[in-house]
């Protein structure tokens, strides 16, 4: 508990986003967008300048400004830290770079037992001091306005996929070959990546993040049996390691229709759903426990407004108005007109949550 918190009421207590994460009723369904910072914003391109994105993450004043831009512009209900899922592995010197328009690349991929030595434990206050300074700046700025900051990390599988493939992949061929071909080494790799994610998330929460999201963006490439045996134990280690901190935890992946039931049981409080499974069907698959986040197809932001508005109302109806955080089913596409996102937030906020049919 912070000193201020002990004396005055918590300004985040009324946050619709935090209430919805906990399954509590809200007047309006809260909304934010994955990848809301950067990408489609002209003010982002102006402020970011040239140079590696890793140096932008390492500049607390700049990273805080880039985090705040979409909050000012769209009046979303939560901010997401401007950072990346590869920041912790880069910070311990694994040798990761981020190529503009492509994503994380690793010159010397993880392929053998000897590579484990390149994954030492993270000391967040030393290795990622700049990230924590960004979090502190943001919390000072946002908390008095009642806006929570979402911290995040990459889940063990998705980070492993970059380290093993050496960059983005469509098939995850080396990752799957390692997972099935050398289960012992795979387990040691994922265990280290779970520890890195956990240390990073705990430090972000200690610095003031009010919720965290674990991105397992690419885990939908796996069959349920492989997910259950080779990934879930390590993802669960991350969520169980956060439980004592009492903040909402969001678990997200793309193309996870067949995995939703398993992912809901990883110890998270919120489950992210992509656009392929309607939220009422997702609810049937996962039961009454977790709040659901999602799930408008990001491509529809480029469709005519009436189409987008109609689909948004459908998503709201399928979400049932309680225990639902409105979001896209994946990140904002770079081609998106930011004014459409602003209008989308206005639309979501215009619908009283208690007018939305509860799912049964």
Catalytic residues: 35, 39, 48, 84, 162
The correct pick among 12, 18, 78, 80 for binding ligand CP3 (CB under 6 A) is 80
In angstroms, give the least distance from the CB of 26 to ligand CP3: 23
Choice from 18, 21, 29, 37 touching ligand CP3 (CB under 6 A): 37
Angle between helices 338-350 and 60-74 (to 10 degrees): 60
38-45's contacts with Cβ under 8 Å and 24+ in sequence apart are 38/66, 38/82, 39/331, 39/332, 39/333, 39/334, 39/336, 40/332, 40/333, 40/334, 40/335, 40/336, 40/337, 40/338, 40/341, 41/69, 41/70, 41/73, 41/338, 42/338, 43/69, 43/73, 44/69
Contact partners, residue 10, CB within 8 Å, separation at least 6: none
Binding ligand CP3 (rule: CB under 6 A), the pick from 331, 336, 345, 349 is: 331
Q: Which is nearer to ligand CP3, 325 or 353 (CB)?
A: 325
- Is beta strand 249-252 parallel, antiparallel or unpaired with respect to 103-106? unpaired
Shortest CB 168 distance to ligand CP3, Å: 6
Using the rule CB under 6 A, give the single segment among 29-37, 202-210, 236-244, 339-347 that binds ligand CP3.
29-37
The burial class, CB within 10 Å (0-12 / 13-18 / 19+), for 305 is: exposed
**172 lies in the binding site for ligand CP3 (CB under 6 A):** no
Answer whether 53's CB lies under 8 Å from 84's CB: yes
The pair of three-digit structure tokens given for residue 333, joined into one six-digit string: 């596409």
Tell me: does residue 217 bind ligand CP3 (CB under 6 A): yes
The answer to whether residue 215 forms part of the interface with ligand CP3 (CB under 6 A) is yes
Q: Which is nearer to ligand CP3, 206 or 333 (CB)?
A: 333
The DSSP letter of residue 143 is G
Q: Is 53 in the site for ligand CP3 (CB under 6 A)?
A: yes
CA 266 distance to own-chain centroid: 15
Sign of torsion, CA 57 58 63 64? positive
Question: By CB under 6 A, is residue 65 in contact with ligand CP3?
Answer: no
> Residue 35 or residue 284: which is nearer to ligand CP3 going by CB?
35
The whole-angstrom separation of Cα 111 and Cα 76 is 42
Among the listed residues 20, 76, 98, 238, the single contact to ligand CP3 using CB under 6 A: 98
Q: How far is CA 299 from CA 128, 147, 282, 295, 328, in A?
A: 34, 27, 20, 11, 9
Compute the distance between CA of residue 166 and CA of residue 206 in angstroms, rounded to an integer: 32
What is the C-alpha R_g of the chain? 19
The site map against ligand CP3 for 136-155 (x = CB under 6 A) is ----------------x---
Q: What are phi and psi of 80, to 5 degrees?
A: -115, 130
Segment near ligand CP3 (CB under 6 A), from 33-41, 105-113, 125-133, 138-146?
A: 33-41
Size of the site for ligand CP3 (CB under 6 A): 20
Rank residues 60 and 331 by Cβ distance to ligand CP3 and give the closer one: 331
User: Can you tell me which of 17, 82, 227, 275 binds ligand CP3, judged by CB under 6 A?
Assistant: 82
Q: Determine the interface stretch with ligand CP3 among 35-43, 132-140, 200-208, 269-277 (rule: CB under 6 A).
A: 35-43
Q: What minimum distance in Å lies between the beta carbon of 1 and ligand CP3?
A: 28
CB of 5 to ligand CP3, least distance (A): 26
Q: Is 103 in the site for ligand CP3 (CB under 6 A)?
A: yes
Identify the DSSP state of 129. Answer: H
What residues make contact with ligand CP3 under the rule CB under 6 A?
A: 35-38, 53, 80, 82-85, 98, 100, 102-104, 152, 168, 215, 217, 331
């Amino acid at each position: 508990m912070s000193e201020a918190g002990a004396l005055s009421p918590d300004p985040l207590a009324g946050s619709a986003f935090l209430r919805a994460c906990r399954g509590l009723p809200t007047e309006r369904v809260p909304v934010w967008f994955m990848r809301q910072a950067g990408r489609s914003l002209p003010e982002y391109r102006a402020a970011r300048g040239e140079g590696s994105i890793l140096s932008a993450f390492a500049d607390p004043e700049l990273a805080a400004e880039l985090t705040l831009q979409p909050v000012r512009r769209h009046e979303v209900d939560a901010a997401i830290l401007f950072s990346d899922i590869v920041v912790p592995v880069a910070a311990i010197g694994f040798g990761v770079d981020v190529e503009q328009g492509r994503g994380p690349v690793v010159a010397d991929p993880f392929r053998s037992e000897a590579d484990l030595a390149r994954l030492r434990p993270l000391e967040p206050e030393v290795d990622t001091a700049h990230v924590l300074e960004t979090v502190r700046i943001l919390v000072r700025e946002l908390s008095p306005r009642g806006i929570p900051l979402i911290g995040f990390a990459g889940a063990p599988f998705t980070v492993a996929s970059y380290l093993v493939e050496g960059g983005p992949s469509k098939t995850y061929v080396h990752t799957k070959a390692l997972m099935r071909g050398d289960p012992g080494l795979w387990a040691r790799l994922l265990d280290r990546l779970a520890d890195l994610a956990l240390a990073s998330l705990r430090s972000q929460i200690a610095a003031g993040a009010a919720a965290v999201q674990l991105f397992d963006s690419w885990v939908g490439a796996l069959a349920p049996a492989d997910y259950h045996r080779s990934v879930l134990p390590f993802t669960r280690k991350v969520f169980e390691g956060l439980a004592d901190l009492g903040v909402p935890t969001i678990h997200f992946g793309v193309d996870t229709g067949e995995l939703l039931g398993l992912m809901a049981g990883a110890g998270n409080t919120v489950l992210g759903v992509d656009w392929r499974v309607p939220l009422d069907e997702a609810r049937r698959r996962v039961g009454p426990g977790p709040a659901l986040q999602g799930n408008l197809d990001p491509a529809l932001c480029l469709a005519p407004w009436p189409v987008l508005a109609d689909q948004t109302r459908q998503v709201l109806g399928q979400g049932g108005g309680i225990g639902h955080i409105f979001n896209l089913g994946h990140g904002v596409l770079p081609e998106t007109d930011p004014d459409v996102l602003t209008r989308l937030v206005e639309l979501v906020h215009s619908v009283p949550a208690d007018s939305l049919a509860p799912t049964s």
